Amino acid sequence: MKIFQLGAVGLGMIMMFSSCFKDEPYNAECDIEQVILHSTDAQAVFFNLSDTIQNVLFADSVIKVNVRSTAPLETVTPEFKTTPGATIQCIEGDVKQGKAVYMVTSEDGNWHRRYVLSLVPTMVTVSDTLKFDFEHFELDPTSQKFYIWHNVLPDGSLGNDWANGNAGFKISMGNAKPEEYPSVPIFDGYDGAAVKLTTRDTGPFGVMVNKRIAAGNFFLGSFDVKSALLDAMKATRFGITFDSKPVKLTGYYKYKVGATYIDQQGKPVPGKTDIGDIYAVFYRNHDDAGNPVTLYGDDVKTSPAIVAITKVNPVQPVGEWTPFEIEFNYIKDIDKTVLENRGYSLTIVFSSSIDGAIFQGAVGSELCVDKVRLVCTREE
């Protein structure tokens, strides 16, 4: 990706996103950057030894770590890497009991940030079909500016596996209303609520940093807002750990094409029409040396770690809810032992503009999705 230089305005926008959500001096930062989980029996606690090191994204105040359902949590001791000079103390609970609350205080003592660390015993998925109906959403608790979604976990609680780029859009269009963001809920879906993804203009700031559009996107994974300006391809972190073999993806969609397709310089491309994107990727989340692997915007469709992939081709413009059903194409065999130890990750991705990752597409392109089902089988 082309590296760009930021002017004074761009640097100012980055500083707005400094720690503790204030325009602060360097020694006022109060973030947890990394959690290292020590255990006298790590293999009995964690699915992979690399899970003992958790890098904490800038926007995250809740840190969830999946552990084995029979994990001896009493053996776990956390170690924290904080921003320089900050101090940390446990103010509630005990991680040895599964959950603890920590308060981080900045070096100058004026700023505080609260974190929750949870060790979540994770059962093997029981259902062969996972259901995603997009009924659980709320305004981002920190900013109240844009929407986030929750998925229903096997035990009935709500998780945070679905992500989108709304936090990045806030950098350029901070005055936008929640319904004007690229990813929003709608209440007249195929069945109940649905997700609407719209390619938006990013305004004068987008022109300055040569990122003129923001495609509506929605995916299993996480979004790192701290990378949104400096390395946009690394902002989208695709995939959640998965313990079943995905076979088929189904759901319903509607798609409307925006009027004018523009390139990265904002120039119309004659004869080119925008296209939506619906796909899923299943991949190994560790390499042969045991190092963790995450797919990003620049390799989510091309990485050698990919085991299987599926795609709606093409996403046709259609004004009524239209069913799709696509099967995974496996290019590598599944390793049963690796699967049982959650050594694979899965992402499902929806986007209103197929070239949105490189900031090309048509403002106004709109993809709606609902009632998504992931059909899986077990390796025997």
Nearest to 93 by CA among 122, 68, 118: 118
Q: Measured between alpha carbons, how far is 309 from 277 in angstroms, rounded to an integer? A: 13
pLDDT value of position 5: 43
**CA 43 and chain centroid, separation:** 27
Q: For residues 21, 25, 29 and 34, what is the CA-based torsion angle, rounded to 10 degrees? A: 110
Tell me: do 77 and 211 sit in the same domain: no
Q: Which helix (H) or strand (E) holds 219?
A: strand 217-223
Domain count, the chain: 2
The total of other beta-carbon atoms located within 10 Å of residue 99's CB is: 16
Residue 93 gets the label, from left (phi > 0), alpha (psi -120 to 50) or beta, of left
The residue out of 88, 122, 156 marking a domain boundary is 122
Range of the domain at 118: 1-122
CATH number of domain containing 69: 2.60.40.2340
If asked whether residues 1 and 36 sit together in one domain, one would say: yes
Element (H, E) at 205: helix 203-208
| Nearest by Cα to 65 from 93, 100, 40 | 100
**Does residue 79 sit in the same domain as residue 130?**
no
Instruction: Tell me the pTM.
Output: 0.77
CA distances from 214 to 183, 210, 235, 359 (A): 10, 11, 13, 7
Walk along the chain (380 residues) and give the pLDDT tens digit of each residue: 333 444 444 444 444 444 454 554 556 899 999 999 999 999 899 988 889 999 999 888 999 999 988 899 999 999 999 999 999 999 999 999 999 999 999 999 999 999 999 999 886 655 589 999 999 999 999 899 999 999 988 778 888 999 999 999 999 999 999 999 999 999 999 999 999 999 999 999 999 999 999 999 999 999 999 887 788 889 999 999 998 999 999 999 999 999 999 999 999 999 999 999 999 999 999 999 999 999 999 999 999 999 999 999 989 899 999 999 999 999 999 999 999 889 999 999 999 999 999 999 999 999 999 999 999 985 43
CB 198 within 8 A of CB 364: yes
End residue of a domain, out of 68, 97, 122: 122
